[in-house]
Amino acid sequence: MSSEAFSVKIFKFDPSIDATPYYKEFLIETGTGQSVLDLLKEIYRNHDSDISFRFSCRLGKCGVCAVRVNGKPVLACQTTVENGDVVIEPLKGFPVIKDLIVERETYRDRLKSARPYPDRADRSGGSSVQKLWADPNASPFLCTDCLACMSSCKALSRIPWEFPGPAFFTNLARWHYHPLDRSDRPALAIRSGISHCTACKSCSKVCPKGIDVYKEAIEALEKKP
Amino acid sequence: MITEVTDILVIGTGSAGYCSAIEAARRGRSVLLADKGLAGKSGCTVTAEQIAAVIPGMIRGDSAEIHYRDTLEAGKGLSDPALVRIMTEEAHRCIEKLERLGALFTRNRDGKYALDPMNGHSYPRSLYYKDITGKMIIDTLKAEAERIGVGVMEDVQIISLITGDNGVSGAVGLNFRYAQPVLIRARAVVLASGGAGELFPLSTNPVQSTGDGLILALKAGAVVRDIEFYQFYPVCLVYPKTLSGFVLGISQFGRLYNSRGERFMEKHDPVRMESATRDILSQAIFREIREGQVGPHGGVYLDATGLNEEIYEEYSDAISITRKHGIDLKIDRVEVRPAGHYAIGGIKINEKTETGVPGLFSAGEVTGGIHGANRLGNNSMLDTVVFGMRAGRFAAEYAAENGGEKADMEQAIGEIKRVKTLSERGVRKYAPWQIKKRLQKIMDEKVGIIKSKDQLVSAGRELKTLEDQLREETGVSARGFFFNRSLRDYLETANLLILARAIVLASLEREESRGAHFREDYPDVVGDEEAVSLEITLEGGDPVLQKRALSGETQ
């Protein structure tokens, strides 16, 4: 067993106690193949049992464990840490509830206005489904709502009140591609501020599912049908 | 304290929970969904890959009747034929309902569903959408629930159901997000809280699968049946750690080797080899592991190289995920072993998903009796959808005519006080996670894939010690309720311990090998006609067991 250690700094903030957020440093023994989630579990178990973070499926499928590691938004369970020093922070662009857990409600409430379901769809009969059916084969269906893209978005960080962020448009694109959806998603995208996208494409770079958010959501919605 | 009033409380937000909620809400009832974590993210549905259903006109020769018989055959005499009949016959209509809500299933050019074969199913009848079928279904259900106004409470762990002379009148929970206890008054409650993968060190389930619903039901007076049958998914990655527990469905097309390079399935099932049933595969791999014929990470090798491109295409998600972690399934051998996958037994229900406790309904993995002694692949998603929808319907009907009694506040306050005292424990000799880890080791080695009397007796003793240690010597280091993970771990571990003891009790009593339950000291399989169901109830906090002979009407 190597006794070497590396530093893990974690963003800590409990608004019921702390006046301001701070970073707490832990020295973790060097290991192989550790994920960020392994680190967080190790810290919870042996260093600070009051650290708060989310995780669920552990397989990169549910999307609840997204955090920033050395500034980059990633899924904690799918990111292996090299034995260098690491800073782990909550996703940017969301209010922090506690430590690494961020508040998702504001985003979700905003999404509600976009009618995030097959809108104006004919839900009456199965045969109509079959007739309409064509595999949209579109990557927005892979989106797990991990919100990593939101954390990387330049427009969102600058003008959050004008631009609802890439995850919002990925969700919209999902319905845009959906064979049952009958509403005008591109028009809704314009009303929702899609033109404020700066085309920096950071969203496409950070998506853990490899969705080219810029191309498959933003551009697809901007294109006139 | 937060107080909520609703017609129907649904616990769990996987497919069964959402299906119940939607069906109940469509009948005009107010519905509240509660989940320990984020909605739609904490159950197994999000990771599910396929759903079995016979759709008329798709495959010549196949029918709901044959699906019914296949399911009973796998259940080895322990399935409730009435429930299986419902599941297989309503399958078609439920799939159609899902599609109307917007779920997509892959179809061929002729408009017919693309159907996959699955071990134990006589015909190809597994529907899928790429390999994100479960996610497709849960996304669809979430969207529909949102559209029709189902209420959702996240970060709420239900700690007790409130019961009285007239049955269930609500539940008490902890809202970790708002750091407060919650009292939910409800006319009916649907338990749809899933399985208990956390019983084992390696599991395919999300971390929230701690059997809470089984214990809530037992404490409310319901019966849990056939809990000794726990299904293992035979082929899951052990390494890299970032993917441990990752299910490799592609394995049925691949080849398994031990560390000596022997294709060991030749010994165990020379005909079906790697496409043998899950129990046969799990036992074979477990034996190799026990004999030390393993790689550096404790698993056997799966070789899935050189397969047809179409197969790789179908498992493209698995291939791209593993590739991100430096493994190419088309080139590399990987280390695999069985992982805890599915609680086959569970809460005893009838055709209306009633549990015997008035007002308490249940659906999905938390229930038992449908899959008998062993579950066919892809029947679980079908179970969640069919019985989820039924639970919603019957809970709504019940709530229209019953309930509305005042919740027994004394009971509620007692429960809250109990948990508050726990939250003030501070540090003691052990932390809850340590107890849980030891429990997992015991279950893996002695109560898992291969069992025997000696091992079970020793496991029972060790679990009792753990229970004492949890009660007396285990601390809850963080204070208050605000995202208090150590409190949550404590409560979950307490549930897992009761469940583990129940499994040991039933496993000891079942002196035979049948389906997913394998006793090394009783390796002979008893005929279906002699099937006895083992029912667990709780008395004074301890599991007790009754035998129930099943009538031979399995056809």
* Contact of B256 with B302, CB cutoff 8 Å: yes
From CA B429, how far away is CA B418, in angstroms rounded? 20
Q: If DSSP codes are grouped into helix, strand and coil, which group holds residue B470?
A: helix
Q: Which of B111, B240, B486 is the closest to A130 by Cβ?
A: B111
DSSP B245: T
- The whole-number pLDDT of residue B548 equals 93
Tell me the per-residue pLDDT of B131-177, one tens digit each, with 9 for 90 and over. Answer: 799 999 999 999 999 999 999 999 999 999 999 888 999 999 999 99
CATH number attached to the domain at B231-341: 3.90.700.10
Tell me the per-residue pLDDT of B201-228, one tens digit each, with 9 for 90 and over. Answer: 999 999 999 999 999 999 999 999 999 9
- The whole-number pLDDT of residue B554 equals 39
B106–A contact, CB cutoff 8 A: yes
Domains in chain B: boundaries: 231-341, 409-549
From CA A76, how far away is CA A56, in angstroms rounded? 11
- Of the candidates A51, A110, A64, A60, the one whose C-alpha atom is nearest the C-alpha of residue A91 is A64
Listed as ranges, residues in chain B with pLDDT below 50 are 552-555
CB contact under 8 A, A33 and B239: yes
* Contact of A152 with A84, CB cutoff 8 Å: no
Number of residues assigned to chain A:
225
Residue of A nearest to B205 (CA): A57
From the CA of B487, how many Å to the nearest CA of chain A? 10
CB contact under 8 A, B483 and A129: no
Query: Domains of chain A, with CATH numbers?
Result: 5-102 (3.10.20.30), 105-222 (1.10.1060.10)
State CA B361 to chain mean position distance: 16
- The whole-number pLDDT of residue B553 equals 45
- Give contacts of A16 with chain B, Cβ < 8 Å: 179, 482
* Contact of A133 with B103, CB cutoff 8 Å: no
Type of residue numbered B264: F
Longest dimension (CA), chain A: 65
* Contact of B474 with B431, CB cutoff 8 Å: yes
Count the Cβ atoms, other than its own, within 10 Å of residue B425.
Answer: 16
> B409-549: which CATH architecture?
Up-down Bundle (1.20)
Q: How far apart are the first and last CA of chain B?
A: 52
In B189-228, the residues whose Cβ lies within 8 Å of chain A are 206-208
From CA B354, how far away is CA B542, in angstroms rounded? 23
Tell me what ipTM this predicted complex has.
0.95
CB contact under 8 A, B37 and A64: yes
- Of the candidates B238, B242, B237, the one whose C-alpha atom is nearest the C-alpha of residue A38 is B242
Helix, strand, coil percentages in chain B from 3-state DSSP, rounded to 5? 40, 20, 40
B144–A contact, CB cutoff 8 A: yes
A124–B contact, CB cutoff 8 A: yes
Which 3-state string (H, E, C) describes B133-185?
Answer: HHHHHHHHHHHHHHHCCCEEECCEEEEEEEEECCEEEEEEEEECCCCEEEEEE
pLDDT band of residue A144 (cuts 50, 70, 90) is: very high
pLDDT band of residue A17 (cuts 50, 70, 90) is: very high
- Mutation target for A interface from B35, B49, B100: give the one with most A CBs within 10 A: B100
